[in-house]
Amino acid sequence: MAYLQLCGIEKFFGEHRAIKGIDLTIKQGEFIVFVGPSGCGKSTLLRLIAGLENIDGGSLMLDGRDITDQPSSKRDLAMVFQSYALYPHMSVYENMSFALKLAKVDPAIVREKVERAAAILNLTTYLERTPKELSGGQRQRVAIGRAIVRAPKVFLFDEPLSNLDAALRGQTRVEIAKLHRDLGATTIYVTHDQVEAMTLADRVVVLRDGLIEQVGTPLELYDKPANQFVAQFIGTPQMNVVPLQQLPAPVQQQAPAEAAGGAIGLRPENIAVRSTGTTPVGGQVDLVEALGAETLIYVSTPGGAQFVSRQNDRTGLRAGDAVSLDIDASQAHWFDPAGHVVAGQGA
């Protein structure tokens, strides 16, 4: 049964139709991640759900209640911002308890809720400090704690890890995943980060130009993208998508008829680098990225195609070396000239 339901949601900024009739059903307890390129509408859609922007068309239902025109304070949602949005003159305790005090909640209950949230987030020893005395990761946990104490029906996260360095992003991502599991809360999370989307989400919503391109589990989107846009957006490094005319005839002949004039899509792990002359696809190494546990090899072909191959073993190849590419066409995704998936893909 739908817990949060978006029906034909639209948003205009002047003449610009930013959100173009979004339909989405979210179950209670789900972790939903919105992803897409800059300007696709993911943050705008989150703000419409939060009540920070007015909905210009469609309806928004939460737990059977129409909240389309409700102010944000009445929606029973809590939002965590990229910028933390903490009061600098207040202590951690005061920041986390502020909304409850405004609602005139009994002080004993306020303390109980704040101390519980602080324990969950490992903030107990920092309750008397001010934000300037905390690290970026600690400040973000305070912002999350402020949302937890309100016990909302839905948590909303707007790129909460963007201001953190790489190591802290990884640590905080694990904490958010554990927090979601412990609280069982319905969560909507906006990010542009592939790893966050793939590791946190129960389902990923891929947006482009104010529309939903595909909704599915992370592995569904990785293995069975609906179109070329999703195929290249999900996965790091991104899928190799090469026009068929840039490939030798033996590869082109394996394509379904519907892909004529289109392209082949291959994940980096489905391309192996071999000795020169051993396959029909020859090329030259442009770059080798030795990452320790895996190696990425970038290869360009005489026809102008560029590929990246991922392999688990290390290599002695260097830039400029001649190689051949072993393409596993059984794992290929085939696209027509418009970028739509056509029958015959192996994945």
pLDDT > 90 in the chain, percent: 72
> Structural domain of residue 13, as residue ranges?
2-223
Record the tokens describing residue 51, joined without a space. 């009540």
Q: For the segment 108-118, what is each residue's pLDDT rounded down to a tens digit?
A: 999 999 998 89
Residues 52 and 169 grouped into a single domain: yes
Q: For the segment 171-221, what is each residue's pLDDT rounded down to a tens digit?
A: 888 888 888 888 888 999 999 888 899 999 999 999 999 999 999 999 999
Higher pLDDT, 329 or 52: 52
In whole angstroms, give the CA distance from residue 177 to residue 157. 12
Record the tokens describing residue 346, joined without a space. 């192996």
Residues 110 and 218 grouped into a single domain: yes
Residues 63 and 210 grouped into a single domain: yes
| The predicted structure's pLDDT at residue 202 | 96
**Domain end position, chosen among 162, 197, 223:** 223
Beta partners for residue 65, in sequence order: 62
**Is residue 345 assigned to a domain?**
no
Across the range 24-43, mean pLDDT stands at 95
**Domain end position, chosen among 188, 223, 258:** 223
- pLDDT of 347 higher than 50: no
Residues 10 and 152 grouped into a single domain: yes
Residues 193 and 269 grouped into a single domain: no
pTM over 0.75: yes
pLDDT band at 161 (very low <50, low <70, confident <90, very high): confident
Side chain identity at residue 192, one-letter code: H
Side chain identity at residue 245, one-letter code: Q
Single out the residue of 285, 286, 282 nearest to residue 248, CA to CA: 282
User: Where residue 280 sits, what CATH number does that domain have?
Assistant: 2.40.50.140
The answer to whether 207 and 34 have CB atoms below 8 angstroms apart is: yes
| The predicted structure's pLDDT at residue 330 | 87
CA R_g for the chain:
24
Across the range 293-322, mean pLDDT stands at 95
**Is residue 81 assigned to a domain?**
yes
Burial (CB < 10 A; 0-12, 13-18, 19+), residue 101, is exposed
| The predicted structure's pLDDT at residue 346 | 41
| The predicted structure's pLDDT at residue 283 | 95
**Domain end position, chosen among 177, 201, 223:** 223
Residues 13 and 147 grouped into a single domain: yes
Phi and psi (nearest 5°) for 260?
-55, 130
End-to-end CA distance of the chain: 31
**Is residue 347 assigned to a domain?**
no
| The predicted structure's pLDDT at residue 231 | 96
**Is residue 231 assigned to a domain?**
no
Sequence-ordered strand ranges (E) for the chain: 2-13, 16-27, 31-35, 57-62, 65-66, 77-80, 154-158, 186-190, 203-208, 211-216, 240-243, 263-266, 271-275, 281-290, 295-300, 306-311, 322-327, 333-335
Record the tokens describing residue 167, joined without a space. 């190591």
Residues 155 and 242 grouped into a single domain: no
**Is residue 118 assigned to a domain?**
yes
**Is residue 248 assigned to a domain?**
yes
In whole angstroms, give the CA distance from residue 262 to residue 126. 58
Record the tokens describing residue 164, joined without a space. 């953190």
**Is residue 304 assigned to a domain?**
yes
How many domains does one find in the chain?
2
**Cα–chain center distance at 176:** 14
The residues, ordered by sequence, that sit 6+ positions from 156 with a Cβ below 8 Å of its Cβ are 46, 49, 50, 77, 78, 79, 80, 187, 188, 189
Residues 78 and 212 grouped into a single domain: yes
Residues 292 and 150 grouped into a single domain: no
Residues 250 and 110 grouped into a single domain: no
The answer to whether 194 and 33 have CB atoms below 8 angstroms apart is: no
Residues 136 and 178 grouped into a single domain: yes
User: Where residue 186 sits, what CATH number does that domain have?
Assistant: 3.40.50.300
The residues, ordered by sequence, that sit 6+ positions from 312 with a Cβ below 8 Å of its Cβ are 293, 294, 295
Residues 213 and 271 grouped into a single domain: no
**Is residue 341 assigned to a domain?**
no
DSSP 108: H
